[in-house]
Amino acid sequence: MADKASDLVQGTLDMLILKTLALEPLHGYGISLRIEQISKGVFRVNPGSLFPAFRRLERAGWIKPEWRPTENNRRAKYYVLTDRGRKQLKAETAQWGRQLAAIARIMEAS
Residues lying near other proteins in the complex (CB under 8 A) are found at 27-30, 32-33, 46-49, 51-56, 58-61, 70, 72, 74-77, 84
Question: What minimum distance in Å lies between the beta carbon of 86 and other proteins?
Answer: 15
Beta carbon of residue 101, minimum distance to other proteins (angstroms, whole number): 29
Strand partners, 81: 63
Cβ proximity of 64 and 80 under 8 Å: yes
Q: Give whichever of 61 and 97 is closer to other proteins, judged by the CB atom.
A: 61
CB of 25 to other proteins, least distance (A): 14
Asked if 85 and 18 touch (Cβ cutoff 8 Å), the reply is: yes
Q: Which is nearer to other proteins, 40 or 74 (CB)?
A: 74
Q: Which of residues 40 and 59 has its CB atom nearest to other proteins in the complex?
A: 59
- What DSSP letter does each residue of 62-92 carry, written as one string? SEEEEEEE-TTS-EEEEEEE-HHHHHHHHHH
Residues 38, 40, 43, 46, CA torsion sign? positive
Give min distance, CB of 8 to other proteins, in A.
16
